[in-house]
Amino acid sequence: MSNDQFKRLDPKMVAAKKQEGVVSLFVYGLICLALLYCTFQWNWPMWIFVVATCLSIVSAPFDIYFVPRWTYQRWRYCISETSIQIEKGIFIKRKILIPMGKIQHVDAKQGPILKKYGLSTVILSTAAGSHEIPGLAEETADSIRKEIEKHARLDDEQV
């Protein structure tokens, strides 16, 4: 399949990933506060708090700015009558080919952040494991589920 047949994730995925990064940063801050409390309450070494704080500060631009953009730029998927191809990865690129006949279950999930942006994640389950296509518009996720169902029925009838 050529690259022009591959589809990208919904552009709203960048904003959703940024919000997930902000939530992660908030959790990192709470952990740093807990470590600071433990440092003063039970005389833990100060370096534990300092290292955790530095890691939180260094990871902030990645969680909020870089990773959302990279995820959107690198994720691709293509659905044909015979297979589903997924290309993903920021540092380590993966190309996954899932034969349509091997798909056992298709599910769509939506957490609070994805729901806010009207996005869903489609989960494709096979005997070997499961694969996700995150950041799809709800309508796109439903149409993908229906398309896979249609192709899976054809494969069952052919057997």
Element spanning 137, H or E:
strand 129-137
What whole-number distance in Å separates Cα of residue 141 and Cα of residue 57? Answer: 35
Q: Which residues pair with 96 in a beta bridge?
A: 86
Return left, alpha or beta for 27; rule: phi > 0 is left, psi -120 to 50 is alpha, else beta. Answer: alpha
Query: What is the value of pTM for the model shown?
Result: 0.86
- Residue pair 124/113 in contact (Cβ under 8 Å)? The answer is no
Encoded tokens for 79: 């659905």
User: How many Å is the Cα radius of gyration of the chain?
Assistant: 20
Residue owning tokens 């690259």:
3
Per-chain mean pLDDT for the chain: 92
- Residue pair 84/18 in contact (Cβ under 8 Å)? The answer is no
Q: Looking at residue 95, what is its pLDDT?
A: 96
- Sequence-ordered alpha helix ranges (H) in 2-137: 12-42, 46-61, 67-74, 112-116
CA 106-16-145 angle, 5° bins: 15
Q: Looking at residue 84, what is its pLDDT?
A: 94
What whole-number distance in Å separates Cα of residue 54 and Cα of residue 32? Answer: 10
pLDDT tens-place string over residues 14-67? 999 999 999 999 999 999 999 999 999 999 999 999 999 999 999 999 999 999
pLDDT tens-place string over residues 130-144? 999 999 999 999 999
